[in-house]
């Protein structure tokens, strides 16, 4: 939304709201938010830490309403907002298709090593011919079967892959050829493990060192959910031993990815910038929804 902010100014003004865009790369700190929030009546929240302390500081000033932009809500203390008398809303189920498109793009990129080929051609003047892996017939362990997960499954099935779902809270599965297991049951069968799960107590570091021995040799791992769902040191150990062939991560335990992260050392890995939902069409749609929600609550 920040990258396209100019196109939403008329929408704010039409609703008698005066917008101000944060100057930020990924998130503001709690200290920064505590300092500035009391000046504002409403807050459209990205991935910033909307903790009890932050919301209390805002509520002690002018803050009256908050909207969480996007799907993930693990960074917002909605219970604290309610206790403080703040009106709140979020925008669930809005990015399923866009994040699914990226997830399947990563699956194909890991299977064919296309990102590495591109880098070798551009940076080294090489002309590599790495042998890829066919997608048809491969088994994907899909962790998380909400709106994003269901959209991912449809795309994987179209590629003739087998999909096995791990999600204790999902609604009945309505897709043919999709079976359900309890994590980490039979995880060693998977050629790909794809995470689209939200972050909560049960998903935090669900892929960790203790799971590594159970994985198939050469497994490929994709994460478009939340970074802390995976223990990154476990990925490093798996990559170093060869247990994990490669990973494609749009999200990380620490964002932006530190310059000295050992994950950068493995040439087949693919990295995103927590950008899975960022298409012009999706940002336009969700931003206008967020503006409508905050305006209604501030009436």
**Which residue in the list 32, 53, 237, 255 is annotated as catalytic?**
255
Cα-based distances in Å from 130 to 12, 121, 122: 51, 12, 16
Peptide bond into 161 cis (omega under 30): no
**Which residue in the list 64, 105, 220, 226 is annotated as catalytic?**
226
First to last CA, the chain: 23
64 catalytically annotated: no
DSSP code string of 49-94: -B-HHHHHHHHHTT--EEEE-SS--TTB-HHHHHHTT-EEEE-TTS
232 catalytically annotated: no
* Tokens coding 197: 């799960």
**Which residues pair with residue 142 across a beta bridge?**
165, 194
With CA atoms as reference, report the closest residue to 247 among 275, 207, 277, 279: 207
Confirm if 151 and 175 have CB atoms less than 8 A apart: no
Distance CA 234, CA 238 (A): 6
The SS3 assignment for 41 reads: coil
**Which residue in the list 116, 164, 245, 274 is annotated as catalytic?**
274
97 catalytically annotated: no
Distance CA 290, CA 11 (A): 11
- Which distant-in-sequence residues (6+ apart) come within 8 Å of 65 by Cβ? 41, 42, 43, 86, 87, 88, 89, 294, 297, 298
Distance CA 60, CA 249 (A): 39
Enumerate the active-site residues.
226, 255, 274
């Amino acid at each position: 939304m920040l990258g396209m902010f100019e196109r939403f100014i008329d929408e704010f003004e039409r609703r008698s709201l005066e917008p101000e865009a944060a100057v930020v790369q990924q998130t503001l700190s709690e200290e920064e938010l505590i300092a500035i929030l009391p000046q504002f009546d409403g807050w459209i929240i990205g991935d910033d830490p909307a903790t009890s302390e932050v919301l209390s500081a805002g509520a002690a000033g002018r803050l009256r309403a908050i909207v969480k932009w996007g799907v993930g809500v693990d960074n917002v203390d909605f219970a604290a907002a309610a206790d403080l008398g703040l009106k709140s809303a979020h925008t669930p189920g809005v990015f399923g298709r866009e994040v699914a498109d990226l997830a399947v793009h990563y699956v194909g990129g890991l299977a064919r090593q296309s990102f590495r080929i591109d880098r070798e051609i551009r940076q080294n003047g090489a002309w590599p011919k790495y042998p890829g892996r066919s997608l048809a017939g491969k088994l994907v362990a899909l962790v998380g079967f909400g709106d994003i997960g269901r959209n991912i499954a449809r795309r994987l099935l179209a590629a003739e892959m087998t999909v096995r779902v791990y999600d204790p809270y999902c609604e009945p599965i309505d897709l043919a050829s999709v079976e359900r297991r309890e994590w980490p049951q039979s995880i060693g069968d998977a050629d790909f493990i794809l995470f689209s799960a939200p972050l909560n107590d049960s998903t935090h570091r669900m892929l960790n060192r203790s799971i590594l021995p159970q994985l198939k040799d050469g497994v490929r791992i994709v994460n478009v959910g939340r970074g802390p769902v995976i223990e990154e040191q476990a990925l490093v150990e798996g990559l170093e031993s060869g247990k994990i062939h490669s990973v494609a991560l749009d999200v990380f335990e620490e964002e932006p990815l530190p310059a000295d992260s050992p994950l950068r050392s493995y040439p087949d890995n693919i990295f995103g910038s927590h950008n899975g939902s960022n298409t012009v069409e999706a940002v336009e749609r969700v931003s206008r929804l967020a503006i409508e929600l905050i305006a209604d609550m501030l009436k």
